Amino acid sequence: MNINSHLLGDHLRELGVITQEQLEEVLAIQEGLLTRSVFEPGVSSIQLVTQTREQERDVPLLGQILLEKKYISKDILDPVLAMQNRQIRELRMLSSEKLAMVIQIGFLINSTHGLGEVLSLIMKYANILTCATASTLMLLDERTGELVFSIPTGPNADELKDIRIAKGVGVAGWVAENQQHVIIENAENDPRFYSGVDDMTGTRTQSILCVPLRSKRKTIGVLEVMNKEDNTFFTEDDALLLNLLSHQAAIAIENAILISSKGVLH
C-alpha cells in the first residue's frame, strides 16, 4: 500500500465516513486490481501505463473504488483529498536531512533479516529522529488484544520487558484501537496515561508521541516515544516522521517474522 492510499484511507476512517471493514474491503480490491494489471499475461509496460493514464486523473485508485462502491460521494471525497494534499505538502516542508534519514533508515531496516536486529534498529532511530530520551515498541497479541512491551529503551527499560497492557488501556491502547497517532504534552493530565509504567521505571513521563504500527491492512502494535531531550514537546513534524518510520518498520517486522518462521520450520 503506498503512502497516498494509506493517508486517504486513514483520513476517511478517522472522520467516520467509512468503517474499518469497508476500508479493508476496498484496499483488497485495489491490491487485486494492481496485481492483475502488473502480472496479467501479455500486458506490456506501455499498455499498463496507457491503462493507468486513462483513469480519472484527480482521483486515486482507492478513491475511485470507494465511489464505485457508493461508500462515499464526490462531495465527501474532494475535501478529504485536499486535506491529504495539505499533509503531503507539510511533509515536503520538513527538514530534507531528516527526510533523507527516514529513507536511509527504511533501506537499512528492510535489508536486515534478523528480527532482533530489526527491532533494535527501529528503536535506535525512533529516538534519534524525534530526539526522545525513551521509547517503547509494543506488539499486539492478536489472541488477547493485549499490547506487549517488546523493545523498551531509556532509564530502567529492562523493568518493562514483556509487560502486558490490557486492550484499550493507556495511551498505547487508545492508539491501537483508534489507529491514529496522539501527541500529549503533559502525561499526568491525560486520563489515558498509564502511570504504572513510571512506577516500574522510577522515572517521570512528561510528553508522549505514540503512533500505530500498521502493515498492509492490519495494526500489529504501536511505537511510542517519551520526553524530548530538550524538555520541549513533540510536534506534528515529529509525528509525520515517526509515522513514516512506523510504516516501514511494520513491514520490516512482518518480513523478519516470516523469514524467522521459515527458518524454524526448516
Above 50 in pLDDT, residue 265?
A: no
Instruction: Read off the pLDDT of residues 220-259 as tens digits, 9 standing for 90 and up.
Output: 999 999 999 999 999 988 998 898 888 888 888 888 877 7
Pairing of strands 182-184, 208-215: antiparallel
Task: Fold for 98-265, please state it.
Answer: Beta-Lactamase (3.30.450)
- Within 13 Å and on the Cβ side, how many CA atoms surround 252? 25
- Kindly list the distances between the CA atom of residue 204 and the CA atoms of 101, 171, 191, 196, 220, in Å, as whole numbers in the listed order: 29, 15, 16, 11, 27
What are the grid coordinates assigned to 9, written together?
Answer: 484511507
Spell out the alpha helix ranges (H) of 54-114.
61-68, 74-92, 96-110
What are the grid coordinates assigned to 33, written together?
Answer: 486490481
Contact 217, 28 (CB under 8 A): yes
Instruction: Read off the pLDDT of residues 169-198 as tens digits, 9 standing for 90 and up.
Output: 999 999 999 888 999 999 989 999 988 888
Contacts of 232 (CB under 8 A, 6+ apart): 207
How long, in residues, is the chain?
266
Instruction: Read off the pLDDT of residues 49-91 as tens digits, 9 standing for 90 and up.
Output: 455 544 444 445 778 888 888 888 888 888 888 877 776 666 5
SS3 of 156, please?
Answer: coil
Spell out the alpha helix ranges (H) of 131-235.
170-178, 196-201
Q: Looking at per-residue confidence, does 183 or 120 come out higher?
A: 183
Average pLDDT over residues 123-134: 91
Q: How much is the pLDDT for 59? A: 45
Most confident of 39-53, 92-106, 131-145: 131-145
Average pLDDT over residues 111-124: 82
What DSSP character marks residue 189?
A: G
Q: Looking at per-residue confidence, does 48 or 67 come out higher?
A: 67
Above 90 in pLDDT, residue 217?
A: no
Q: How much is the pLDDT for 244? A: 86
Q: How much is the pLDDT for 56? A: 43
Above 50 in pLDDT, residue 29?
A: yes
Q: How much is the pLDDT for 7? A: 59
Average pLDDT over residues 195-216: 88
Contact 96, 208 (CB under 8 A): no
Separation of alpha carbons 83 and 18, rounded Å:
16
**What are the structural domain ranges in the chain?**
3-92, 98-265
Q: Looking at per-residue confidence, does 242 or 118 come out higher?
A: 242
